[in-house]
Amino acid sequence: MWEQIGAGLINALQPFNLFLAIAGLTGGILIGALPGLTATMGVALMVPLTFAMNPTSGLIMLGAIYSGAIYGGSNAAILINTPGTPSSVATTFDGWPMCRAGKADEALNASLLSSAFGGIVGTLFLLFLAAPLARLALKFGAPEFFWLCIFGLSTIAAMSAGNVFKGLVSGALGLLVSTIGLDPIEGVPRFTFGYYPLVQGIEVIPAMIGLFSFSQVINLVGSRQKYIADYKPNPGAFMRVVRKLWKDCKMILTRSSVIGAIVGILPGAGGEIASIIAYNESKRWDRNPSRYGTGIVEGVAASESANNATIGGSLIPMLCLGIPGSAVAAVMMGALLVHGITPGFKIFTASGNLAYTFIVSLLVVNVLMVLVGSLLIKGTARVLNVPTSYVGVAIVALSIIGSYAIRNSMVDVMIMIFFGLVGHFGSRIGLDTGAMALGIILGPIVEENLGKSIALAGADGSVFKVFFTHPISLILIVLTVLSVITPWLLSRRRGCSTKEAVDGVQS
């Protein structure tokens, strides 16, 4: 194995492959930063280009685009409060407040370094733990997926610690909105309100662009701010962030990356779920969880390391079992099949050179991402020096093209504008757009797996057995309960400590 890893490293470091990795990273970062253009779209668009290359070089380029796009989403999340890809929703929670506080450079560098760290951890999982993790993925049935999503939804309790009722209402509204369209169990149209095009359902990305981006334009233009945020280039930001991550975020980065890699291997569960769970866990284990959401490096580090770690994770079932763990992995699998290579355990023996070169190249790509990303940050951050009257209208144009591009549908554009208004007026009355987006993202997965689990329970004759006796389900239930009650317990404990300290001072 080590020989193959060494040979893979030599292959990955060939000048042509390095060039493809840098080109893929640059393209991927730009695609990810554009709201509405997803990593899947970026990789799919570039697949035809790889047909003229040898399969190894083609895969290296696709892997670089995938990594770049998932990281690139954080740029828009930090600079304009618009997640470039759904994986960056949790990055807005702290990235945007940091940007507003004039710390855009710190946020962007934290996102870059955390993404690279997460990407490397995910790749190491792929390199050394592929077989056992692939077997674990096979143990995830509908009840386990249902509880995984409920665990993800429990984030709402931690996210809206100051106003849990409105957080829960926002999450439930998001879940309810996700039921519009065809019912996943019976295929019956639901909640179209007499408007037939709604049968196609509410696509996550236009809704998210509306909630985060269009509503933000209304706020920016309405508030008569001259610039989005005060921004002055900060030459020492990179090293300051390196020191901060090394000093305070080692645990956060490791935990979030492991969460990302494990969530990534589960088919259908991607960076959006991983980053939300990792953010929630970081907040839960912090000595002062109320710091989260106010603009701290730890929040950005948790979200970004987790979503990039899903890349390695999502490739595990694709390479080991021939089951793609994400839409991008499915596209990459298609590219492999076109080249006559069938994914599965045999790929490590029959096409070992290709498999190991590709995996090792992902390590190289994540190192290169720090260099490429640092250069691009210098340019992207300058958007903050453009007056809001120009940035705002440009965001509207980008929002429209991004919403349309998903399904080539003008209905999605109208949905985006509608959710922009919902996001703006909702936040005026204290509703949480993050919780709403979480509901819209997780809703279809929750409902589909709930339906399957109920059907299983019907066949099995016991709801209890299906939902509450599987070991993985039990672990997820315990984690969910802990996730909901820990913020409350910690706040009580801190309350007691404060009281004791005050009593001590008084006596």
Partner 1 sequence: MSSRKADLIAGVASIVVALLFGFQGRELSLASKVFPLVLEVFLVMMGLVLVVRGLTGCKEQHSDQEKIDYGRAWLVVVASLVYVACINYAGFYVSTFVFLTLLSWWLSDRGRNLPSLGISGLFGLLVTAALYATFWLFLKVPTPQGLLF
Name the site residues for partner 1 (rule: CB under 8 A).
30-31, 34, 37, 41, 45, 165-166, 168-169, 172-173, 175-176, 179, 183, 185-186, 188, 190-193, 214, 217-219, 221-224, 226, 387-390, 392-394, 396-398, 400-401, 404-405, 408, 410, 413-414, 417, 420-421, 424, 428-431, 446-447, 450-451, 454
Count CB neighbours of 449 within 10 A. Answer: 23
Q: What is the token pair recorded at 8?
A: 């893979």
| Shortest CB 290 distance to partner 1, Å | 14
**Nearest CB to partner 1, comparing residues 52 and 429:** 429
Strand partners of residue 182: 189
| Cα→Cα distances 23→30, 332, 503, Å | 11, 17, 62
| Shortest CB 146 distance to partner 1, Å | 11
Report the C-alpha gap between 485 and 490 in whole angstroms: 9
Report the C-alpha gap between 505 and 507 in whole angstroms: 6
Contacts 24+ apart (CB under 8 A), 132-137: 133/261, 133/262, 133/265, 133/313, 133/316, 134/265, 134/316, 134/317, 134/320, 134/321, 136/262, 136/265, 137/265, 137/266, 137/267, 137/316, 137/317, 137/321, 137/323, 137/325
| Shortest CB 190 distance to partner 1, Å | 6
**Nearest CB to partner 1, comparing residues 224 and 247:** 224
Angle, CA of 304, 305 and 309, to the nearest 5°: 115
| Cα→Cα distances 274→90, 204, 281, Å | 10, 17, 10
| Shortest CB 415 distance to partner 1, Å | 11
**Nearest CB to partner 1, comparing residues 170 and 257:** 170
Report the C-alpha gap between 198 and 196 in whole angstroms: 5
**Rounded-to-10 torsion of CA 45, 50, 55, 57:** -100
| Shortest CB 179 distance to partner 1, Å | 5
**Nearest CB to partner 1, comparing residues 191 and 345:** 191
**Nearest CB to partner 1, comparing residues 7 and 454:** 454
Please provide the DSSP assignment of 429-462 as one string: TT--HHHHHHHHHHHHHHHHHHHHHHHHHHHHT-
**Nearest CB to partner 1, comparing residues 46 and 134:** 46
Q: Are 78 and 35 in contact (CB under 8 A)?
A: no
| Shortest CB 411 distance to partner 1, Å | 11
**Nearest CB to partner 1, comparing residues 19 and 425:** 425
| Shortest CB 41 distance to partner 1, Å | 7
**Nearest CB to partner 1, comparing residues 349 and 408:** 408
Please provide the DSSP assignment of 228-284 as one string: SS-----TTHHHHHHHHHHHH-HHHHHHHHHHHHHHHHSTT--HHHHHHHHHHHHHH
| Shortest CB 80 distance to partner 1, Å | 15
To which residue do tokens 């790929």 refer? 347
**Nearest CB to partner 1, comparing residues 10 and 421:** 421
Report the C-alpha gap between 462 and 14 in whole angstroms: 58
| Shortest CB 222 distance to partner 1, Å | 3
Report the C-alpha gap between 36 and 28 in whole angstroms: 13
For residue 182, the SS3 value is strand
**Nearest CB to partner 1, comparing residues 207 and 309:** 207
**Nearest CB to partner 1, comparing residues 327 and 490:** 327
Report the C-alpha gap between 463 and 446 in whole angstroms: 16
| Shortest CB 348 distance to partner 1, Å | 34
| Shortest CB 226 distance to partner 1, Å | 7
